[in-house]
Structures are given as C-alpha cells and as structure tokens.
Amino acid sequence: MRLLQDVAVTADSHVVRDSLIARGERIVIGCTAVLPADDVARLQQRLATLQRADSSHIQ
C-alpha cells in the first residue's frame, strides 16, 4: 500500500492514480479474509490516505 501511495504522489495522470486506488481497494478486500482486524484497519487507513492524496493532487 505504501508503494501505491509513493507512485500516486508522483503520477501526473489522474487515470494512473485512479488505477492505483482501485488496486489498493482490491488489496484491502483480499486481505480482509486472511489478516487480523488490526492489520486490515492499518491497510484501510493507508487506503484512505491514498484516496485523499488523489483528491488533493494538483492538476
């Protein structure tokens, strides 16, 4: 998830950032069934940070 954040911050394309967010959402969904709740909560926090970074990205 941190890698997705790093790439999203440097990406100039809104399409690329949207793709990274979608990938992050799939990661969280996939991990929900296999990881403890506290680990999933951390992933969800990182996903929220990724989503906020996209909404505040200067075009």
- Residue 54's pLDDT is 72
Distance CA 35, CA 25 (A): 15
Rounded Cα distance between 58 and 10, Å, is: 11
What's the pTM value of the predicted model, to 2 decimals?
A: 0.85
What digits encode the pLDDT tens for the residues 2-59? 999 999 988 889 999 999 999 999 999 999 999 999 999 999 999 999 998 777 664 4
DSSP 1-59: -HHHHHHHHH---HHHHHHHHHHHHHHHHHHHTTS-HHHHHHHHHHHHHHHHHHHT---
Q: What is the pLDDT of residue 57?
A: 61
pLDDT of residue 36: 97
